Amino acid sequence: MAEWWQGAVFYQIYPRSFQDSDGDGVGDLPGILSRLSYIADLGVDAIWLSPFFTSPMADFGYDVADYCSVDPLFGNLDDFDRLLAKAHDLGLKVIIDQVYSHTSDQHQWFRESRTNKTNDKADWYVWEDPRPDGGPPTNWHSVFGGPAWTWDTRRRQYYLHNFLSSQPDLNFHNLAVQDAILDVARFWLDRGVDGFRLDVANYYFHDADLRDNPPSGLSDQSRPYLYQQHLYNRSRPESLTFTERLRALTDNYDDRMMVGELFTSAPVDRTLAYTEGKRRLHTAYNFFFLEQDHVSQQLLQQALTPFEKQNAWPSWSFSNHDVPRAVSRLTNGHPPGDGLAKLLLALVAGLRGTIFLYQGEELGLPQADIAFEDLQDPEAIRFWPDNLGRDGCRTPIPWEAAAHQAGFSTVKPWLPIAAPHRPQAVDKQMSDPRSVLRFTQTLLAARKSLEALQKGTLTFHEAPDPMILFERQQGASHVLCAYNPSPTPLATPIPLPNQSRQSELVVSERARLDGDQLTLGPYGFAWVSLRVRA
């Protein structure tokens, strides 16, 4: 029996940039509450809230100083309870980000841990003595640049941080740390959340033997991190054991789920291992599609086929708060536009798995161009002028084209409103039946009506390059999904192994069906229902 999250569509909310309710230029929980009906009207099944917990905001909430409180910037626990209750009233499930691999250096646990080598939490973080020459214990790099180790003058030791130096890694080899994290999860489950999105879930453990990472063999990379194979500071087998403890806890509650973010670009890597059977994560995704600059049948086959063979349940997204927006990135070398935005939405919605859409994706928003003086993201500032995307995809949602600050706030927002986004504001698109927003509503309604697209298997068919062609099937329900990610028209016969079938266009753009011949115009696509004649 399929669970509610299998085949569901989640809508990711980045709270800072969704809706400001109190006039400080930063989005907040009451602002999200005021827009929940908009989200429900999209036709999604659930929302994922990025971090809103107490934090010094060095990494904008992914550096947690208190796991069980709401940062005053976003509101308070009563605001969260009201948001959760309203979402449930609207039929929306709610999952929240949980950042377990590291905390803020302002967390009370770390404040105590760094005081000396004998305190109660001395071993709650990864502390190590220097090498004989005084250097860091290993050659591991931080994702955000520089060594993954920082010297602490009080303890006269190095501590590990896979991200910012203000984000020290917890020591999951210590069972007391695992127990404390399980208590955090229990706090939110008891409060009624429907599950968790687990940030960098493959970073919980480090190699206890502190072995150096070997070189990746890649040269001329934009970041030193990419010069290594990260065999010893991520994706350690011990992480699988902890996910089993998390799953056992979650299974004590009805209808809850966990989706893991696996920070790797390998198409499968250990994703299958993290979702093995019913004893680990319910589902997981990695950065394979999030780091591509095009879409193709070959890439889809590379990513999806292993899951089909193992009958495992994946999750997919083309956009999130960490990468350039899909409509500006997955261009296949051609200018972005509404046609491409609709095609990408129809493509990700056609895949087998749980689907994650990022706020603004339903509007077809392109990547915003942020001036250096307006950058907020520490990674973007460090690696400027490379466009890493994290500020350009985090700009506020444009609600009203002509309104002050596009209806997001009454004051200057924490990131500027992107001028090209105003013509794509919600109010403009809602009144245009051909807009990306109205298309998203139609698309998701059609997806809910087609059982094959929610739960069915996926089989690829041969097609003229660069067409993407696959079939979804659940029982007697068959849907052929065809996409043309190019400006050149393409045509293909519909594969009809059973000649007693009849075909019908369900959702399409720039598509024509003549008998068993399907023609797709530039950036055209079609969902074709294949039905057995009575």
Tokens of 221: 């990379």
Give the Cβ contact number of residue 267 at 10 Å.
16
* 3-state DSSP assignment of residue 151: strand
Question: Is 71 designated active site?
Answer: no
Give the Cβ contact number of residue 229 at 10 Å.
11
For 144, list phi and psi in degrees, rounded to 5. -90, 10
Q: Peptide bond before 489: cis, by omega within 30 degrees of 0?
A: no
Residue found by looking up tokens 């659940």 in the block: 474
Catalytic choice (105, 199, 338, 377): 199
**Which DSSP string corresponds to 183-223?**
HHHHHHHHHT--EEEETTGGGS---TT-PPPPB-S--S-SS
In residues, how long is the chain? 534
b/e code 202-213 from CB counts within 10 Å (16+ = b): bbbbbbeebeeb
Exposed/middle/buried for 422, CB within 10 Å: 0-12, 13-18, 19+? middle
Residue 323 to residue 315: CA distance in whole angstroms? 17
Question: Is 199 designated active site?
Answer: yes
* 3-state DSSP assignment of residue 41: helix
Catalytic choice (261, 322, 338, 361): 261
226 touches 216 (CB < 8 A): yes
Tokens of 252: 């004590």
At residue 87, what is the residue type? A
The helix (H) or strand (E) run that includes residue 89 is helix 77-89
**Which DSSP string corresponds to 427-488?**
HHHHT-TTSHHHHHHHHHHHHHH-HHHHH-EEEE---STT-EEEEEEETTEEEEEEE--SSS
CA distances from 407 to 325, 366, 384 (A): 21, 19, 30
Residues catalogued as catalytic: 199, 261
